[in-house]
A and B are shown apart, each in its own frame.
Chain A
Amino acid sequence: MRLVSLPRRVRSAVLADPAVRALAMLDLPRWRLAGAVGAGSLALGCAVGLAATSAWLIARAAEQPPVLALSVAVVCVRALGLGRGVFRYVERLVSHDVALRGVVDLREGVYRRLAAADTSAVARLRRGDLLARLGADVDALADLVVRVLLPALVALVTGLATVVLATALLPAAGAVLAAALLVAGVGAPLLAGRAARAAEVEAADARGAVAAESLAVLDGADELAVAGQLTARQDALASAQARLDEAAERAARPAAAAKALVQLALGAAVVGSLVVGVPAASDGALSAVHFVVVALLPLAAFEGVAALPAAATSLVRCRAAAARVLALVDGAPTAAPVVEQTPDGTTIRARGLSVGWPGAAPVLTGLDLDLEPGATLAITGPSGCGKTTLLLTLAGLIPPVAGTVTVGGVPVHELSDDQRRGLVALAAEDGHLFATTLRENLRLASGAVDDAVLLAALGQVGLAAWATALPEGLGTVLGSAGTDVSGGERRRLLVARALLTGAPVVLLDEPAEHLDAGAATAVLDELLTGVEGRTVAVATHRSDRALADAVVEMAPAGRCR
């Protein structure tokens, strides 16, 4: 977007607007966009042209000229009647294509950005949030093109063209039309935008309250009935609904004013054209035929601006979506360039280590730890005490709050992605299984190895029999019909995948979750004793520490004992 002519402060404010930034990131091909605007303008132009030409045709016909004198006008009217639909079709195809391509570009761009970002920024992203922002929010930005940018540009082009036409016939009529279009084209979208913001902000709170009260009644119907409070709770829902009604009422006022303003401007243009046109026609400055065109043109001139209030509403929504997407990008600074240090061995050493989420209080302080190659570590403690945070720190995915943790003498957080892949593997508890075959999911870690290797890893977590019993064995697509993966199976698949990386240090988060006592013990035994020659750290809320060489016991208060 080139905004050179604006003062610098305005320009930087405009460029910082989420909608403008998102538009820049959509990286729209200019010529295609211009094509869409052109087609849209021609479509609307056909409508205006049809009104003007048919007015001319009828006024001229009333003078009863030879029919031949009308033949050009007749052809024009028919062509314009056809053109509107056809150009509109073209406009929609091109604009949607441009928008959808932009969305694909934007999504890829954000993905690349996150893939290259500082690991701690990505590690803290919640899956639902990521899905919402890279999914629905990015998709919503297609509207920025189709429903905001395009109608605005089309209204501008056709509005200008119509004013030029009217001015050519009678300058005063052009001025009247220009003023009316300006009022409708600027005032109405401003009002509609205000209504949309009120609806988004105020009504969103009220809507949330209604949803919460509905949920309370639906979830707790039995409990409320036994407590004799069902009616009282339904009353609470009713009053939340009343607040929502009020908020909608407040939003409806500017929305109604926006629509009424367009209609008002149209009416003013019709009457105004008569006021300037009739005297001009009387004193001969305007021919009778042209007078008819001037008088009827305003009725067709407002279709473009009439679409602008809806565009303003879309803009408010798109801007919110854009802000959420941009927060994702801004919250993920590009990783600092790594000074390649080569680790010497795979010994893990922590000194005075404090761990915690960046910006939050540490969950563990003052940890000293030495894990020689092949050693095993159990991290125990009640759920929620920070075991996962410690594992992420050991894996180098979040930086230590204080102190150091090194592998082979190099701080783990400073390893490059490639180095880390060869040294440390983490099976996070919320690790993702992709909707592809079991084989592909495992090979993601191992590279192209043969099935025997994959089955051996599955055997280590007690899933060999399960895998071979699947409808198509390793070729079964996970999550497809009839192959739902249970919580316990999922966890162990993630462990198998971590083992398959071949990394000498393996960090496992609650590998035995969702298993009954016997099975859990078997899995933990195997992992803590059976994985030869590799350093294994296991976070578990169970207290099977006897098998591990070292134990970090975390207390809810965050001290290690």
Chain B
Amino acid sequence: MRPLDPRLLRTSRAARRYVVLTALLGGATAVLVVVQSLLLARAVAGVTMRGDAWSDVATSAGWLAVVLALRVGVVWVQERFAHRAATQTIGQLRAAVVAHAARLGRRGLGDRSVAVTELSTRGLDGLEGYLVTYLPQLLLAALLPPALLLVMLRADLLAVATIALTLPLVPLFMALVGWATRDAALRRQDSLQALGAQVLDLVAGLPTLRALGRATGQASRVRAAGDAARAATGATLRMAFLSSLVLEVLTTLSVALVAVGVGLRLVSGSLDLETALVVLLLAPEVYLPLRAVGASFHASADGVAAAEQAFAVLETPLPAAPAREPGRADGAPVRLVDVSVEQPGRGVLAPAGLSMSLAPGRIVALAGPNGCGKSTAAAVLLGLAAPTSGTAVPVAHRRVAWVPQRPLVVPGTLADNVRLATPDADDAALERAAERVGLAPVVAERGWDAPLGQGGVGVSAGQRQRVALARVLLRVEAGADVVVLDEPTAHLDAGTEAVVLATIRELAAAGCAVLVVAHRPELLAVADEVVAVRSAAVDAAAPAVPAPTRPGDDLSPTTSDDTKDGALCVS
């Protein structure tokens, strides 16, 4: 990312306002620094050269106090609004990323979904350091030196020349040092991570070592790995500190050279004390923002990287089809005719050539081995995925109640969660639904106001499924007549499974068209029709045979679901 990425300004209104405010405050700082130096130099020179008494310098001192008070104000305003602008900017960026990612969907994000989650929940917070510390100094570094040099130009040409010559050396030398150490730093980075990982590996294994009775001997290994990591870190830091050494030496030495030059010109009488003092006071201020930028550069790196990632997500084009709200299928029978969907990167059609239809009062089950495209078929029916070939008449969203494999639990109360799809449902409806899906005991024990945490903390898989089913009942009460359930009995104990099966039968009896993605024989048994879903290689009509995961593995690993279900395959 460039020092100030225009995309950041385009995406976030708060960032735009903040940059303008910071630039204005930077300008004000420049003016105040100049006035402060002029006033102080005049007062000090007056006392020293002309023997001014307090009454002579009182006015200058008074104005100096005003200027210093204004600088206090500028510092306060900058700091006060920097944090606010930072959280707002991060919030706006986060909202944009979340909205865009939601429109892309899991399918659109592919293997980036974990990274996007990390970015939205934590990564973007790294921008705070960039916005609060780095950016203001960057703007100051752009504004202050030219303004101050301009003022000094009137005072002492030689000092300006000294500064103008040394100032560009700062970024130049820092770039040179950075360039010279970068390869070594990158080389070390890997070994550093490896050494750090070694320490953590021993730490993670502590309970295991305890269980084997082998823990006591390992502390020295923790030390050895830690010492190795420390040595590598130290070597890296020595290089990292080099650039700041160059920065500090160049800036301070330049100020010293300016002071010496001015002093010698004073002796020769070619300069008066007041001018000399102005130069002496302004010279360090020229270098100050540059030093601050150098010091905060590393602190801002995380945030900049996060922003890069965010823009990469935002610049991912949205898929053209399907529309989120199919709509057109209202009243028409929901069906798939010879539908195939190509799975990106796998070279298979899953499902391949699937035809099926839903009808009121009927329970249709989709069955087949893992990865054959059952869930994708459901997604096509819901209008969430587009068929590669074939015809799909998806269901309008307002007609459907859908429970995906792992139903969502949102932060909020139990009641909030049951009402998720039907926010207007009244308490009586809630109670009825809870009674029918066996959620009533949970309500009795914990109450409707029981908080459910992030990712469903505090709910078991069975309770989660019951909450999802209660949602379905409320949704059906509100007019939905198509119900799609993706493996509704996976991970459930026998008691919850019986409740789910009974609810499915009730829904069908009440006239709903029900589609279940099914693995277990108990679930298949309640279906009026079982549709076998199969997959096929893209370039062949023959069904794809799932390859063994690893050569030489005599016990091919399968998911635990399959184990429980006795590896049911219909193909």
Mask, B109-124, CB within 8 Å of A = 1, is: 0000100110011100
CA A465 – CA B103 in complex, angstroms? 47
What residues of chain A lie closer than 8 Å to B44, measured between beta carbons?
A: 291-292, 295-296
What residues of chain A lie closer than 8 Å to B247, measured between beta carbons?
A: 85
Does A329 belong to the interface (CB within 8 Å)?
no
Does B4 belong to the interface (CB within 8 Å)?
no
CA A512 – CA B108 in complex, angstroms? 36
A380 to chain B, nearest CB (A): 14
Contact call A488/B253, Cβ cutoff below 8 A: no
CA A292 – CA B106 in complex, angstroms? 69
User: If A58-B262, A211-B454 touch, does A256 touch B397 (CB 8 Å cutoff)?
Assistant: no
Does B346 belong to the interface (CB within 8 Å)?
no
Mask, A45-78, CB within 8 Å of B = 1, is: 0110011001101111110110100100110011
Which B residues from 234 to 283 make CB contacts under 8 A with A?
234, 237-238, 241-242, 244-250, 252-257, 259-260, 262-264, 266-267, 269, 272-273, 276-277, 280-281
What residues of chain B lie closer than 8 Å to A74, measured between beta carbons?
A: 260, 263-264
Contact call B87/A54, Cβ cutoff below 8 A: no
B267 to chain A, nearest CB (A): 5
- Nearest residue (CB) in B for A238 is B95
Contact call A57/B259, Cβ cutoff below 8 A: yes
Contact call B252/A50, Cβ cutoff below 8 A: yes
CA A81 – CA B556 in complex, angstroms? 71
What residues of chain A lie closer than 8 Å to B559, measured between beta carbons?
A: 514
Contact call A260/B48, Cβ cutoff below 8 A: no
Mask, A280-323, CB within 8 Å of B = 1, is: 01100000110110011001000000000000000000000000
- Nearest residue (CB) in A for B198 is A435
A527 to chain B, nearest CB (A): 14
What residues of chain B lie closer than 8 Å to A252, measured between beta carbons?
A: 79-84
Partner of B263, one of A54, A104, A435, A522: A54
Does B408 belong to the interface (CB within 8 Å)?
yes
- Nearest residue (CB) in A for B70 is A267
What residues of chain A lie closer than 8 Å to B262, measured between beta carbons?
A: 58, 61
Contact call B563/A97, Cβ cutoff below 8 A: no
Partner of B256, one of A54, A214, A219, A523: A54
CA A167 – CA B300 in complex, angstroms? 41
- Nearest residue (CB) in A for B262 is A58
Does A241 belong to the interface (CB within 8 Å)?
yes
Partner of B252, one of A84, A210, A233: A84
Contact call A421/B256, Cβ cutoff below 8 A: no
9 additional A-B pairs beyond A54-B280, A281-B47, beta carbons within 8 Å, are: A82-B256, A212-B454, A222-B404, A227-B420, A244-B91, A256-B77, A260-B75, A516-B558, A519-B555
The stretch among B177-185, B218-226, B353-361, B537-545 that forms the contact with chain A is B218-226
B454 to chain A, nearest CB (A): 4
* Chain A at the B interface: SS class: helix
Contact call B222/A108, Cβ cutoff below 8 A: yes
What residues of chain A lie closer than 8 Å to B213, measured between beta carbons?
A: 417-418, 420-421
Does A538 belong to the interface (CB within 8 Å)?
no
The stretch among A13-21, A124-132, A149-157, A345-353 that forms the contact with chain B is A124-132
Number of interface residues of B (CB under 8 A): 150
Contact call B410/A216, Cβ cutoff below 8 A: yes
Contact call A271/B64, Cβ cutoff below 8 A: yes
Partner of A58, one of B200, B273, B408, B567: B273
What residues of chain B lie closer than 8 Å to A114, measured between beta carbons?
A: 206, 210, 215
Does A175 belong to the interface (CB within 8 Å)?
no
CA A428 – CA B79 in complex, angstroms? 53
Does B204 belong to the interface (CB within 8 Å)?
yes
- Nearest residue (CB) in A for B45 is A62
Contact call B554/A517, Cβ cutoff below 8 A: no
Contact call B266/A233, Cβ cutoff below 8 A: no
Mask, A219-232, CB within 8 Å of B = 1, is: 11111111111101
Does B551 belong to the interface (CB within 8 Å)?
yes
Does A80 belong to the interface (CB within 8 Å)?
yes
Contact call B234/A111, Cβ cutoff below 8 A: no
- Nearest residue (CB) in B for A309 is B79
Contact call A270/B257, Cβ cutoff below 8 A: no
Mask, A411-429, CB within 8 Å of B = 1, is: 0000001101100011010
B521 to chain A, nearest CB (A): 14
What residues of chain B lie closer than 8 Å to A211, measured between beta carbons?
A: 120-122, 454
Does A8 belong to the interface (CB within 8 Å)?
no
Does A249 belong to the interface (CB within 8 Å)?
yes
Number of interface residues of A (CB under 8 A): 155
A124 to chain B, nearest CB (A): 9
Closest 5 CB pairs of A and B: A81-B256, A267-B68, A421-B213, A469-B552, A85-B248
CA A59 – CA B45 in complex, angstroms? 9
Contact call B402/A226, Cβ cutoff below 8 A: yes
The stretch among A30-38, A87-95, A401-409, A546-554 that forms the contact with chain B is A87-95
The stretch among A115-123, A336-344, A355-363, A368-376 that forms the contact with chain B is A115-123
Does A112 belong to the interface (CB within 8 Å)?
yes
Contact call B226/A434, Cβ cutoff below 8 A: no
CA A111 – CA B222 in complex, angstroms? 8
A-B contact pairs, 27 of them (CB 8 A): A57-B263, A61-B267, A62-B266, A77-B260, A85-B248, A88-B248, A92-B241, A104-B227, A107-B199, A114-B206, A127-B207, A210-B91, A210-B121, A218-B117, A220-B408, A223-B408, A224-B102, A228-B421, A245-B88, A249-B83, A259-B79, A266-B68, A291-B48, A296-B40, A465-B552, A501-B212, A516-B558
Does B407 belong to the interface (CB within 8 Å)?
yes
Contact call B214/A444, Cβ cutoff below 8 A: yes
User: If A62-B48, A92-B237, A218-B101 touch, does A417 touch B215 (CB 8 Å cutoff)?
Assistant: yes
User: If A58-B280, A86-B245, A104-B226 touch, does A218 touch B423 (CB 8 Å cutoff)?
Assistant: no
Contact call B384/A226, Cβ cutoff below 8 A: yes
Mask, B544-571, CB within 8 Å of A = 1, is: 0000011111111111101100110000
Does B99 belong to the interface (CB within 8 Å)?
yes
Contact call B411/A221, Cβ cutoff below 8 A: no
Does A160 belong to the interface (CB within 8 Å)?
no
User: Quick one: which of A244, A444, A489, A516 has the most chain B CB within 10 A?
Assistant: A516
What residues of chain A lie closer than 8 Å to B214, measured between beta carbons?
A: 421, 444-445
Partner of A70, one of B75, B254, B263: B263
Contact call B397/A248, Cβ cutoff below 8 A: no
What residues of chain A lie closer than 8 Å to B410, measured between beta carbons?
A: 213, 216, 220, 233, 236
CA A73 – CA B219 in complex, angstroms? 56
CA A259 – CA B77 in complex, angstroms? 10
CA A440 – CA B200 in complex, angstroms? 17
- Nearest residue (CB) in B for A43 is B248
Contact call A47/B408, Cβ cutoff below 8 A: no
B100 to chain A, nearest CB (A): 11
Mask, A253-289, CB within 8 Å of B = 1, is: 1011101100110111011001101110110000011
What residues of chain B lie closer than 8 Å to A123, measured between beta carbons?
A: 207, 210-211
Contact call A264/B80, Cβ cutoff below 8 A: no
- Nearest residue (CB) in A for B80 is A256
Does A164 belong to the interface (CB within 8 Å)?
no
Contact call B207/A82, Cβ cutoff below 8 A: no
Does A134 belong to the interface (CB within 8 Å)?
yes
CA A289 – CA B44 in complex, angstroms? 10
Does A209 belong to the interface (CB within 8 Å)?
yes
What residues of chain B lie closer than 8 Å to A523, measured between beta carbons?
A: 555
What residues of chain A lie closer than 8 Å to B120, measured between beta carbons?
A: 211, 214-215, 218
Contact call A59/B454, Cβ cutoff below 8 A: no
B398 to chain A, nearest CB (A): 7
What residues of chain A lie closer than 8 Å to B505, measured between beta carbons?
A: none
Contact call A112/B116, Cβ cutoff below 8 A: no
Contact call B200/A131, Cβ cutoff below 8 A: yes
User: If A82-B253, A85-B245, A223-B404 touch, does A111 touch B64 (CB 8 Å cutoff)?
Assistant: no
What residues of chain B lie closer than 8 Å to A57, measured between beta carbons?
A: 259-260, 263
- Nearest residue (CB) in A for B102 is A221
- Nearest residue (CB) in B for A245 is B87
Does B374 belong to the interface (CB within 8 Å)?
no
User: Quick one: which of B51, B91, B272, B475 has the most chain A CB within 10 A?
Assistant: B91
